[in-house]
Structure 1
Amino acid sequence: MRITQADFWALIDTLNGEASELNCQRLAEELGRRPVADIVGFAERHAEALYRLDQEKFGVLPVVDLTDRDGSPFPMSADQFLYTRCAVVAAGRAVWESVFFDVDKFAPYTSTKYDAEWLLYVPDTAYELATGQEWDSSTRYCFETFSNKDGWPDLQD
């Protein structure tokens, strides 16, 4: 893989901590000017970062700025949890690494103000910019919620 961890996080740093549509488009354009191997490498590193965050200790946290009608905590959906993990990745390597040691550092990213879904589309967009074709590839790690079986021991048979 041509993209090292350091390369991946340097590219993530160009987001300035926020995976907005504009920031992600700029990142995709930067990647789209690179060799396809770099785009694939970025996708692999990104999928792995999200996969490693796919853990029950994070996924059971409520959305910090929402409550149910009765005032009880509002749980994250599977999609919300994926987008929250994207927000943690977009925040950078230091934040990403810190949450594994302190779940409380993950919690603020459950806020609805963090809409980091755009980060998911960076590899696809970059690939299309580079090749003129749609991305038709999968990564070694699946980043969908509940993919990391070791992260969700209570769901194992």
Structure 2
Amino acid sequence: MDEATFWQLIEVCSPPDPDPEAELLAPALTARLLAGPVEDVIGFAEQLSRALYLLDTEEHCGDELSGDAFLYARAAVVAAGRQTYEDVLREPARFRPYAEELIWAESLLYVPDEAYRELTGKEWDRATRHSYESFSNTDGWPTRQQQP
């Protein structure tokens, strides 16, 4: 799955009304992925982890969020769609409402695992090219790299 297909899938599965915590988006994405081959699930996981990884910077986080809170807020940015994601990526100050209002889309993180389990009957011990865990983007945290 390429980046354009990933964002198109997010758009097609997004409900018409605001869903900042992906309560409706996540199950819709899972259902959509179940209609395709397991390769689509793997591709979705790769694109999701890359998007989250690119938002994993000290400019986006600041000092006020725990690792989990930062991850879930980044997921909410992705769930908001491509335009919002690109705006936040380009202008980290746009991330602030997600952090301050604790807008979390944790459920988005489980979409690939649930779809994989449904399609294969197995648990997925996935390893994507990019880690989406908070503080894993070493280029995005130059201050942390300088600390002893």
TM-score relative to the length of structure 1:
0.84
Inter-partner Cα distance in structure 2 for 1:50 and 1:152? 14
* Cα distance in 1 between the residues matched to 2:92 and 2:45: 25
Alignment counterpart, residue 21 of structure 1, candidates 19, 23, 34: 23
Is 1:132 the counterpart of 2:117? The answer is no
The answer to whether the 8 Å contact 1:60/1:76 transfers is yes
Q: Which residue of 2 aligns with 1:121?
A: 110
Show the 5 A alignment for 1:1-157: 3-13=1-11, 14-16=13-15, 18-60=20-62, 75-112=64-101, 114-157=103-146
Structure 1 unaligned spans of 5+? 62-74
Q: Which runs of 5+ in 2 are unaligned?
A: none
More helix as a share of residues: 2
Segment of structure 1 superposing worse, 105-114 or 86-95: 105-114
- Write out per-residue CA displacement over residues 116-138 of structure 1, whole angstroms, 9 at most, x where no aligned residue: 00000000001111111111221
Q: Which amino acid aligns with 2:20?
A: E
- Give the number of aligned pairs: 142
Question: After the TM superposition, which segments of 4 or more aligned residues of structure 1 sit over 6 Å from their partners?
Answer: none
State the Cα RMSD in Å.
Answer: 1.6
Question: C-alpha distance in 2, partners of 1:133/1:85?
Answer: 28
Q: Which has the larger radius of gyration?
A: 1
Q: What is the distance in 1 between the residues matched to 2:144 and 2:102?
A: 29
Post-superposition shift, 1:112? 4.0
Give the TM-score of the pair, scaled to structure 2: 0.88
The secondary structure found in structure 2 opposite 1:155 is helix
1:19-62 Cα distance to aligned partner (Å, 9 max, x none): 4333211211110221011100000000000000000001116x
In the alignment, is the contact (CA less than 8 A) between 2:73 and 2:102 conserved in 1?
A: no
Take 1:20 and 1:98, find their aligned partners in 2: how far apart are those partners? 19
Q: Where is the strand percentage greater, Structure 1 or Structure 2? A: 1
